[in-house]
Amino acid sequence: MNANTILQTGLFIIVLIALAIPLGRYMTDVLEGTSVVVRKIGRPFEQMLYRLAGVDPDTEMSWKQYALAVLLFNLLGALVLYALLRLQGVLPANPQAMAGMTPDAAFNTAISFVTNTNWQDYGGESTLGYLAQMLGLTVQNFLSAATGIAVVVALIRGFKRHSAQTIGNFWVDLTRTTLYVLAPIAVVLSLVFISQGAIQNFRSYQDVPTLQVTTYQTSTTDSKGKTITQDAKADKQTLPMGPVASQEAIKMLGTNGGGFFNANSAHPFENPTPFSNFMQMLAMLIIPASLCIVFGRMLGDRRQGYAVLAAMTLVFAVACCAEIASEQAGNPLFASLNVDAQASALQPGGNMEGKETRFGIAQSGIFSVATTAASCGAVNGMHDSLTPLGGLVPMLLIQLGEVIFGGVGSGLYGMLVFALLAVFVAGLMIGRTPEYVGKKIESFEMKMVSVVILLTPLLVLAGTSIAVLTEAGKAGILNPGAHGFSEILYAFSSAANNNGSAFAGLTVNTPFYNSLLALAMWFGRFGTIVPVLAIAGSLAAKKRLAVTAGTLPTHGPLFVVMLIGVLMLVGALTYVPALALGPIVEHITMIASH
């Protein structure tokens, strides 16, 4: 790494934290109902929505009622989205007359967007009409993000309350998050992206003349079966149109990641400039970082939030350095052939394969780390083209459970689960009953923690094993050897942890992968939400313990180090054998070949 890349990484982190603190204050006031926006400005519209839905906003829920509401709401969303995708061929706002999706593709896509995964095995510009993009995908981008935030707020209430049987009202949390946090910020972001050149229209696709006419030969067969070769020329290009900027904003803000176009944020209509790229990276992490501030403020001890934020930031910074350094080191085989990127004063040579020249290695590297740390999955370059170690970094960030900032809501409640594990391990070492922010951690909480931590590795490793042992799974592999295995491992890691990015190079739009990955996405999302809410309910019912001389401080540097240590030991070591078969073997092979 050189001074320029260190400066870009440091500047990004500084701007992120500087924006997260005031946003965290605002979100705390919104979620607690004390903000003037909630009490006066939006109250009439909010009350109207409750009346239309038949919801009593003053009635709170037990954790079981809260979990049931989350499951039923998202199941209904999946059914509606599935129907919309299947029927889009006969629905309006479809100027290119896109046909309905096949049953397995629609099933996979509906589960994908409802679970905040946004895994896509299709090209958006060649598959979906504008109504499906807006009413289907964009709506779920808002609702799945709001669901994650609602769940983490319920967990924070579990820490905050004592001797209580309720953890809030899901419908109120969902409504306020959408109305006062996601929607207004998304509108502003949309305007920023439009100002940079992202498109926003409802036109049919446009044919434009190319600057150069390309002549080529085509082969046809005449009536006698004889092959005839004739000249043809290409003098125009079809440009896809659509309401892109509005979907792009919530795609990033809600850590959703599904692109309007197949190239995602590498497409100039989605991500036109380095400034829009910087804003997209900020949008991915701003709410996850702000929720750490919300955690501390709602507890009445801001140091607790800052400690969690510090742990996330430190791991993120190290991951950025590792990713950029790996890509700048490049591929020695390319270097020996003199086909690697040429070095300059601002941009050292390295692996530019699959990257946009307008972003370079530094912004592409930070983006790769941010999108896999944040459970977003949007990409501005091809992860399949990363060096072996450069590909290992985003894969490992996903496999850690995406708690390094993580998805909106899901990142913080995942990190808090690791915090409970950290204090449990500390309690075992010193022979004391573990406590965290004034709550005793007992057997029930640790059973639920175990479910949360072990479920996604089970889904990832079992799914990968099935894929490499069955003919249907092996049929999708296009790259042989270790890299082909990495593509399958990355796909199931991405699905089960609700990221949505892919190595590509793997044919997944088949009934086998559509079905298996959809199941991994659904259980990876809601199989962890339910035990997290169970933890919230159990903690809310407990009394708050007084701080004593023997209480482990959970807001200082020692706890930050312990939290990172537990995260790496438990989260990372689970996948070491699988990683050894994929990117690590590929890296050794690359070095040995040179």
pLDDT digits (tens, 9 = 90+) for 561-571: 999 999 988 87
Tell me how many domains the chain contains.
2
pLDDT over 70, % of the chain: 97
Tokens of 498: 């609700």
- How far apart are alpha carbons 449 and 444 in whole angstroms? 9
Q: Give the pLDDT band (50/70/90) at residue 87.
A: very high
The long-range contacts involving 461-465, CB below 8 angstroms and separated by at least 24 positions, are 461/492, 461/575, 461/578, 463/492, 463/495, 463/496, 463/516, 463/517, 463/520, 464/488, 464/489, 464/492, 464/578
Per-residue pLDDT of 342-378, as tens digits, reads 554 445 568 888 898 889 899 999 999 999 999 999 9
| H/E segment holding residue 230 | strand 227-239
Could you tell me which residues come within 8 angstroms of residue 548 by beta carbon, excluding any fewer than 6 positions away?
A: none
> Among residues 214, 239, 264, which one ends one of the domains?
239
String of DSSP letters for 134-185: IIIIIHHHHHHHHHHHHHHHHHHHHHH-SS-S----HHHHHHHHIIIIIHHH
Q: Quick check: is 282 in a domain? A: no
> Among residues 239, 263, 292, which one ends one of the domains?
239
Mapped onto helix, strand or coil, the DSSP state of residue 286 is helix
Please give, one letter per residue, the 3-state secondary structure of 502-549.
Answer: CCCCECCCCHHHHHHHHHHHHHHHHHHHHHHHHHHHHHHCCCCCCCCC
**pLDDT computed for residue 428 by the predictor:** 83
The long-range contacts involving 478-481, CB below 8 angstroms and separated by at least 24 positions, are 478/505, 478/506, 478/507, 479/505, 481/586, 481/589
Q: Give the pLDDT band (50/70/90) at residue 545.
A: confident
**pLDDT computed for residue 345 by the predictor:** 44
Specify the amino acid at residue 179. L
Tokens of 577: 């054998």
| H/E segment holding residue 295 | helix 274-299
**pLDDT computed for residue 594 by the predictor:** 65
> Among residues 195, 216, 239, which one ends one of the domains?
239
Q: Which residues pair with 217 in a beta bridge?
A: 231
The count of residues in the chain is 594
- How far apart are alpha carbons 434 and 438 in whole angstroms? 10
- How far apart are alpha carbons 324 and 1 in whole angstroms? 7
Q: Quick check: is 225 in a domain? A: yes
Strands 435-436 and 206-221: unpaired
Q: Quick check: is 39 in a domain? A: no
Mapped onto helix, strand or coil, the DSSP state of residue 359 is coil
The alpha carbons of the chain give a radius of gyration, in whole angstroms, of 24
Handedness of CA 252, 527, 84, 238 (dihedral sign): positive
Most confident range (mean pLDDT) of 29-38, 187-196, 221-230, 398-407 is 187-196
Could you tell me which residues come within 8 angstroms of residue 224 by beta carbon, excluding any fewer than 6 positions away?
A: none
- Per-residue pLDDT, averaged over 36-55, amounts to 91
Mean pLDDT, rounded, of the chain: 92
- How far apart are alpha carbons 172 and 63 in whole angstroms? 15
| Phi, psi at 524, each rounded to 5° | -65, -30
- pTM, to two decimals: 0.93
What residue numbers bound the domain in which 210 lies?
A: 206-239
Please report where in the chains the tokens 């591929």 appear, as a residue. 331
Q: Which of 264, 263, 256, 258 lies closest to 288, judged by CA?
A: 256
- How far apart are alpha carbons 163 and 544 in whole angstroms? 8
Tokens of 207: 């044919």
- How far apart are alpha carbons 243 and 260 in whole angstroms? 9
**CA end-to-end span of the chain:** 22
The long-range contacts involving 36-44, CB below 8 angstroms and separated by at least 24 positions, are 37/180, 38/176, 38/180, 42/179, 42/180
Please report where in the chains the tokens 């629905």 appear, as a residue. 91
Q: Quick check: is 331 in a domain? A: no
Q: Quick check: is 431 in a domain? A: yes
Q: Quick check: is 521 in a domain? A: yes
Residue 338 has pLDDT above 70, yes or no: no
Specify the amino acid at residue 442. E
DSSP 568: I
- Per-residue pLDDT, averaged over 293-300, amounts to 95
Cβ burial of 524 (10 Å; 0-12, 13-18, 19+) is buried
- How far apart are alpha carbons 101 and 114 in whole angstroms? 17
Could you tell me which residues come within 8 angstroms of residue 410 by beta carbon, excluding any fewer than 6 positions away?
A: 116, 148, 151, 152, 375, 402, 498, 525, 528
Q: Quick check: is 324 in a domain? A: no
**pLDDT computed for residue 346 by the predictor:** 47
Residue 127 has pLDDT above 80, yes or no: yes
Please report where in the chains the tokens 């100002």 appear, as a residue. 195
Mapped onto helix, strand or coil, the DSSP state of residue 209 is strand
Per-residue pLDDT of 492-539, as tens digits, reads 999 999 999 998 788 999 999 999 999 999 999 999 999 999 999 999
> CB of 117 within 8 A of CB of 377?
yes
Q: Quick check: is 86 in a domain? A: no
Per-residue pLDDT of 413-465, as tens digits, reads 999 999 999 999 988 887 778 899 999 999 999 999 999 999 999 999 999 99
| Phi, psi at 212, each rounded to 5° | -130, 135
> CB of 37 within 8 A of CB of 357?
no
Q: Give the pLDDT band (50/70/90) at residue 4.
A: confident
Specify the amino acid at residue 479. N
